[in-house]
């Protein structure tokens, strides 16, 4: 058995499988990982790809686990916790990547004193280039946070923030990949408008975003500094940037992030309301 112990992953979807891969890369042996997945075909795919065991039963997966990773859809979390709670070993750490649900939602449905760590990941985690932020619950101490970070590290960047800031994290990095995909598509469409073949325009747009991000990360300089280096006086880039400002692109990004934050808060409130109704 690994130093981490036995790990149960609830949900074998895209994010669940990304967590399985991360746990294995973090040093947990495949024999110590079990995935709860009700869809038999999907369970076989995950088992064949990673060599882990699977079960349709949440209770069976959780029994004896030292760490439980919750990766089911938000609307399925309450049912998963109802099955997991009675089977959860005392002191087992629960780490959730389900969007929108506050730590209190889990603490109210799990045995008293269960350490819970809430994580806001994003989809690039599936290729090890994710950006995640985590927040500990009342019973989660520094050792629990360190363990969660160790298991998530192979997915990419992992930061710790107060839970009240996770809605902002959702707006920036959680929803952020969609903003990038939107802009890449727009830049590629611009290339087509200007006469480039569509395949080449998309290839250039993707490489440009990838290269710019890599340069920004490697240089450690502020994006404004790097932007100015591309912007020769009276040149093409300055002309282009003027149009972006004239069309309110920066303001639109700020407004989009605020809308995402507000929707995240609303989803959490709705979830809490559903829980109270039950």
Identify the CATH number of the domain in which residue 41 sits: 3.40.50.720
Q: Retrieve residue 226's tokens.
A: 């790097």
Q: Retrieve residue 75's tokens.
A: 């609307």
* Together in a domain, 134 and 190: no
Question: Does position 277 have pLDDT exceeding 50, yes or no?
Answer: no
- Please identify, among 137, 161, 185, the residue that sits at the C-terminal boundary of a domain: 161
pLDDT, residue 99, reads 85
Calpha distance 129→10 (Å, rounded): 22
Question: Does position 276 have pLDDT exceeding 70, yes or no?
Answer: no
Q: How far is CA 40 from the centre of its chain?
A: 25
Question: In the chain, pLDDT over 90 holds for what percent of residues?
Answer: 91
* Together in a domain, 138 and 219: no
pLDDT, residue 269, reads 81
Question: In the chain, pLDDT over 70 holds for what percent of residues?
Answer: 97
* Together in a domain, 42 and 70: yes
Tell which residue, 55, 119, 118, has the closest CA to residue 87.
Answer: 55
Tell which residue, 25, 32, 26, 34, has the closest CA to residue 1.
Answer: 32
- DSSP-assigned states of every residue in 27-84: T--GGGEEEE-S-HHHHHHHHHHH--EEES-HHHHHTT-SEEEE-S-GGGHHHHHHHH
266 — pLDDT class (breaks 50, 70, 90): confident
What does the pLDDT look like over 5-28, one tens digit per residue? 999 999 999 999 999 999 999 999
Kindly state whether residue 258 falls inside one of the protein's structural domains: no
* Together in a domain, 62 and 102: yes
Q: Retrieve residue 182's tokens.
A: 């939107």
pLDDT, residue 2, reads 65
* Together in a domain, 94 and 39: yes
Kindly state whether residue 272 falls inside one of the protein's structural domains: no
* Together in a domain, 153 and 40: yes
Kindly state whether residue 235 falls inside one of the protein's structural domains: yes
Tell which residue, 57, 50, 98, has the closest CA to residue 74.
Answer: 98
Calpha distance 69→149 (Å, rounded): 12
SS3 94: strand
CATH number at residue 204: 1.10.3730.10
Kindly state whether residue 214 falls inside one of the protein's structural domains: yes
Kindly state whether residue 111 falls inside one of the protein's structural domains: yes
* Together in a domain, 243 and 111: no
DSSP state of 175: S
* Together in a domain, 120 and 227: no
pLDDT, residue 184, reads 98
* Together in a domain, 33 and 125: yes
Q: Retrieve residue 104's tokens.
A: 């209190």
Kindly state whether residue 260 falls inside one of the protein's structural domains: no
Kindly state whether residue 269 falls inside one of the protein's structural domains: no
H helices of the chain, where?
A: 14-25, 40-50, 58-62, 77-84, 103-107, 142-152, 166-169, 176-193, 198-219, 223-230, 236-246, 249-277
* Together in a domain, 214 and 151: no
What is the domain range of residue 185?
176-247
Q: What does the mean pLDDT of the chain come to? A: 94
Provide the CB-side half-sphere exposure for 99 (13 A, CA). Answer: 20
pTM as predicted: 0.89
| Mean pLDDT within 108-132 | 96
Residue 173 near residue 123, CB atoms below 8 Å: no
| Mean pLDDT within 222-233 | 96
Q: How many domains does the chain have?
A: 2
* Together in a domain, 149 and 198: no
What does the pLDDT look like over 43-98, one tens digit per residue? 999 999 999 999 999 999 999 999 999 999 988 999 999 999 999 999 999 999 99
């Amino acid at each position: 058995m690994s130093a981490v112990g036995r790990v149960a992953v609830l949900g074998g979807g895209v994010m669940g499988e990304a967590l399985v891969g991360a746990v294995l890369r973090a040093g947990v042996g495949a024999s110590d990982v079990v995935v709860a997945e009700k869809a038999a075909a999907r369970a076989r795919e995950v088992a064949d790809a990673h060599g882990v065991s699977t079960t349709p039963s949440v209770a069976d997966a959780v029994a004896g686990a030292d760490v439980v990773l919750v990766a089911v859809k938000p609307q399925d979390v309450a049912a998963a916790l109802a099955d997991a709670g009675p089977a959860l070993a005392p002191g087992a750490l629960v780490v959730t990547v389900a969007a929108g649900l506050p730590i209190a939602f889990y603490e109210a449905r799990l045995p008293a004193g269960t350490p819970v760590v809430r994580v806001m990941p994003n989809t690039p985690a599936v290729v090890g280039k994710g950006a995640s932020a985590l927040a500990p619950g009342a019973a989660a101490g520094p050792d629990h946070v360190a363990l969660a970070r160790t298991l998530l590290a192979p997915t990419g960047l992992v930061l710790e923030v107060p839970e009240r800031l996770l809605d902002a994290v959702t707006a920036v990095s959680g929803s952020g990949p969609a903003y990038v995909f939107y802009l890449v598509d727009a830049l590629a469409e611009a290339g087509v408008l200007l006469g480039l073949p569509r395949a080449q325009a998309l290839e250039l747009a993707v490489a440009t975003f990838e290269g710019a991000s890599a340069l920004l990360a490697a240089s450690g300089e502020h994006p404004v500094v790097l932007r100015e280096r591309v912007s020769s006086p009276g040149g093409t880039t300055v002309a282009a940037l003027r149009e972006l400002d004239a069309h309110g692109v920066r303001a639109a990004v700020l407004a989009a992030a605020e809308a995402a934050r507000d929707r995240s808060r609303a989803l959490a409130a709705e979830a809490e309301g559903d829980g109270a109704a039950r």
